[in-house]
Structure 1
Amino acid sequence: MPLRREQVVEAALELLDEVGLDGFTTRALTDRLGVQRGALYWHVKSKQELLAAVTELVLRPVFADDGREGGDWADDLVEYAHRLRDAMLAHRDGARLVAAHVTVNRSGVEQLARALERYTSQGIPVPVAARWGDIISSYVTGYVLQEQTAPAGTPPADAEPWFPDGHPSSAETFADSVATIVLGMRAEAASLTPASHPG
């Protein structure tokens, strides 16, 4: 049975989950697939293209159609932030992978266009909506990068006076931070002209 591109990408993601980005090689992937290097490069022209395809696979759940229509733009942004974090945390070195290898292909452009339409329908100008999306994406990627590279352990003992009820979990801190960012965006939305106010 001929090797399919989807098989190559899925196998690459499995290998990445096992060895991480630093240990990933195309030689290890071809050994895993039981094929010669030429068979691999029939489907992807380079390691960079392969990692970009793997990144697209990692991010697929973030943009899965949930059937929602006409949701509040702020709720959409919060949902996007949590989906993005979950997708990166689901894979070893997920944030590093996304930060270094995310690309915008044809399907990505179409997804972006649909997302921007939802914002403009609520009075948010395209440049503002695009900037907000970039802010959220950058924050989430940086946050998860810290989560995935920080040494395991508990908060330092001297943190106790600041958190008498216990140090918040990483998930709680993330959720509160996203809420703060979106609160600032709501304030900006309120400052827009009446014609572009989300209502």
Structure 2
Amino acid sequence: MATKKTTRLEPETVAETALRLLNERGLDGLTLRAIAQELNVQAPALYWHFKNKQALLDEMATVMYRRMVADPAARPDGELTWQERLLAANRGLRAGLLRYRDGAKVYSGARFTGTDFAADMEHQLGALVDAGFSLREAVRASTTAYMFTLGFVTEEQGTEPVPGEPREGFEVEERAQRLADYPLAAAAGAELFADYDDRFEEGLRLIVAGIEATYAPARS
């Protein structure tokens, strides 16, 4: 009698399978039952590792994070100014989130499993403190840039779940026609729902410039 092949369940294996299904179905379509079917196990088996869906999302975000920091592009060589470091870190964050459909939603509010993220946090905060920031300023500066990036990608993926394919109601020309009685609001669509790369870069630079303008006088 043939035995049914099963996959050994490790938390990271489950999370990797979930991330693959995430790109196919989106977060709303990602269920424990679908993941269990993909792994060829019964859904209750997943509860040995994850007490609920949020626990699974935490592990998924952890795998996403580890992949981000393993990317050489996320760790540029050479000496960086604190401004360059913040820019590089958040460019890498956005690129990592965009690898997954609804990646920003998965990442938002996640509690990383393990403590490997703390080494990177220590390094980032230490670089800012070494540049003259107080710890409070370093935390405020880094988290402000981080939350801008996370919010930007959340909106980006909300309007374009698949890059280049806007969700119904967000196609720029159709929107402009629908809002023809409100010319400024209509024209704003070309800024709001297009050129995401340029808008992100400009917005991130505005954040960094604001940090410099706010905290530099105190440091001097």
Question: Which bin holds the TM-score, normalised by the shorter protein?
Answer: 0.7 to 0.9
Q: What residue in structure 2 maps to residue 25 of structure 1? A: 31
Deviation at 1:190, TM superposition (A): 2.1
**Greater RCO, CA 8 A, separation 6+:** 1
Q: Secondary structure at the match of 2:27?
A: helix
Listed as ranges, the matches of 1:62-81 within 5 Å are 62-64=68-70, 66=75, 68=77, 70-81=79-90
Q: Secondary structure at the match of 2:108?
A: helix
Q: Distance in 1 between matches of 2:78 and 2:215?
A: 20
Listed as ranges, the matches of 1:112-151 within 5 Å are 112-150=121-159, 151=167
Question: In the superposition, relative to structure 1, how do residues 75 and 61 fare at CA in structure 2: closer, same or farther (>3 Å)?
Answer: farther
Question: In the superposition, relative to structure 1, how do residues 27 and 162 fare at CA in structure 2: closer, same or farther (>3 Å)?
Answer: closer
RMSD: 2.6
Of residues 2, 12, 16 in structure 1, which corresponds to 2:18? 12
Q: What residue in structure 1 maps to residue 99 of structure 2? A: 90
Deviation at 1:70, TM superposition (A): 4.1
Q: What residue in structure 1 maps to residue 60 of structure 2? A: 54
Instruction: Give TM-score scaled by structure 2 length.
Output: 0.76
Q: Is the 8 A contact 1:62 1:80 kept in 2?
A: no
Instruction: Give TM-score scaled by structure 1 length.
Output: 0.83
Q: Distance in 2 between matches of 1:88 and 1:59?
A: 9
Q: Is the 8 A contact 1:58 1:87 kept in 2?
A: yes
Q: Which has the higher helix share?
A: 1
Q: What residue in structure 2 maps to residue 197 of structure 1? A: none
Query: How many matched pairs?
Result: 192
Q: What residue in structure 2 maps to residue 153 of structure 1? A: 171
Q: Secondary structure at the match of 1:192?
A: helix
- Structure 1 unmatched runs, 5+: 195-199
Letter in 2 for 1:175: E
Deviation at 1:60, TM superposition (A): 2.6
Q: Is the 8 A contact 1:9 1:54 kept in 2?
A: yes
Of residues 191, 194, 197 in structure 1, which corresponds to 2:217? 191
Percent identity, aligned pairs only, is 28
Q: What residue in structure 1 maps to residue 3 of structure 2? A: none
Q: Is the 8 A contact 1:61 1:83 kept in 2?
A: no
